[in-house]
Copies of this chain bind each other. A is one copy, B any other.
């Protein structure tokens, strides 16, 4: 039958690593189908859920896409700031625990207890930016 979960998840990670940019679930599915044409969406989504839970990949909510986590600090509470270049599609991962903590604190004063931070900043990266490298 199909390969076991660990191998599957490794394949998903490989695909994301090769791409070096965000991939949609169906992009990944298309890649893995080259080796297993029968693979179903469910299979991919389960792998993505497992990898997201363990912090090995990030889900980009505003793009419906997935990205390999660059940090080694996997696991709980690893909420990164993801800066997305709308021009070239590149995504950078920034770790800013103080900022995340500031937000949690600000909301905490209102009685809100934060468990997951979705922080995705759209804009233009330095390579694509006007005035910096350009002109």
A residues bordering B, Cβ < 8 Å?
Answer: 61-62, 81, 83, 85-86, 92, 94, 96, 99, 102-104, 106-107, 110-127, 129, 132
Q: Quickly give the copy total for this chain.
A: 2
**B residues less than 8 Å from A94 (CB atoms):** 106-107, 110
**B residues less than 8 Å from A123 (CB atoms):** 107, 112-116
By beta carbon, the residue of chain B nearest A120 is B118
Q: Are B115 and A122 in contact (CB under 8 A)?
A: yes
**B residues less than 8 Å from A129 (CB atoms):** 111-113
Residue of B106, B110, B115, B132 touching A126 (CB-CB under 8 A):
B110
Give Cα A112 to B96, complex, Å: 15
With A111-B126, A129-B113 in contact, do A121 and B103 touch (Cβ < 8 Å)? yes
Give Cα A107 to B113, complex, Å: 26
Give Cα A114 to B82, complex, Å: 11
